[in-house]
Amino acid sequence: MAKFAANLTMMFNEVDFLDRFEAAAKAGFEGVEYLFPYDYDRDELADKLRHYRVSQVLHNLPAGDWAGGERGIGCHPDRVGEFQDGVGSAIEYAKALSCPLVNCLAGVAPEGADPAVLRETFVSNLRFAAAELDAAGIRLVTEPINTIDIPGFFLTGTAQARSIIDDVGSANLGVQYDVYHMQIMEGDLARTIEANLEAIWHIQLADNPGRNEPGTGEINYPYLFDHLDKIGYEGWIGCEYRPLTDTVAGLGWASRYLG
């Protein structure tokens, strides 16, 4: 059965970030994920994980100037050195947090750039990151994202991600499949996940429209969760959604899944 992790970037926003580990544990989550750990002391984060007995299951590689609107630099030809430095930082944090999985965001395609050059850059960067992370015992995923929320994002679908993974040629690279993003971009969720199951190492969820919790939109999550169990998905599912009201009040959907 799949395991559910609270996304601390999106959930429990009513409390300070460092208090969200406790909130997630009290809500019954055994795992947590969040976008970036880099603004916090590694040891302090590790202490939170140990104290509240939750596992860090995922964080992202550094993704450029997030506050300034950047959403990754993996495909940017002029940022390769920065990308490689970011891999080093990600390894330091992942090892300190016993985090087994790191996600690479491709980023928004620079205006006027040659798509072939962007793909070549992204493949090369992923090849570098996959090798470095593999040597540290950490797995790498990359995530397709919808172009309504992030116009111009370079990696937008499952087939494109699989093609890039084939070009990278590393056994240490898989897909982070975000149900919300892929419902918008391609739909046919159950069959797509089943057809690509061996490459999907992490799943995230939110309902659509609104990016709120399951049960607030069009996606049949009870069916999808049962389907994931049926096809044998055993990885983590990160709850990367914006609670419609209060986080705890909106956890009714998870009562049968959380401890």
The predicted model scores a pTM of: 0.97
Catalytic residue among 44, 70, 82, 240: 240
Catalytic residue among 30, 70, 120, 143: 143
Mean pLDDT across the chain, nearest whole number? 97
What is the reported pLDDT for 139? 98
User: Residue ranges per domain, the chain?
Assistant: 3-254
Interval 103-125 mean pLDDT: 98
Collect contacts of 221-224 with beta carbons under 8 A, ≥24 apart: 221/253, 223/190, 224/179, 224/189, 224/190
At residue 1 the predicted structure's pLDDT band, cuts being 50, 70 and 90, is: confident
Active-site residue flag, 240: yes
Record the tokens describing residue 55, joined without a space.
Answer: 């596992």
Query: Is the Cβ–Cβ distance between 21 and 54 less than 8 Å?
Result: yes
Interval 214-220 mean pLDDT: 97
The alpha carbon of residue 45 and the mean position of all alpha carbons in its chain are separated, in whole angstroms, by 19
Active-site residue flag, 143: yes
Whole-angstrom distance, CA of residue 237 vs CA of residue 66: 24
H helix or E strand, kind and range, residue 157: none
Whole-angstrom distance, CA of residue 225 vs CA of residue 2: 8
Interval 6-20 mean pLDDT: 97
What is the reported pLDDT for 110? 96
130 has a pLDDT exceeding 80: yes
- Characterise 28 by phi-psi region: left (phi > 0), alpha (psi -120 to 50), beta (else): left
173 has a pLDDT exceeding 70: yes
Interval 199-219 mean pLDDT: 98
Query: pLDDT > 90: what percent of the chain?
Result: 97
At residue 2 the predicted structure's pLDDT band, cuts being 50, 70 and 90, is: confident
Query: pLDDT > 70: what percent of the chain?
Result: 100
CATH topology of domain 3-254: TIM Barrel (3.20.20)
Whole-angstrom distance, CA of residue 8 vs CA of residue 247: 11
Exposed, middle or buried by CB within 10 Å (0-12, 13-18, 19+), for 141?
buried
Interval 48-62 mean pLDDT: 98
100 has a pLDDT exceeding 70: yes
259 has a pLDDT exceeding 70: no
Interval 141-162 mean pLDDT: 98
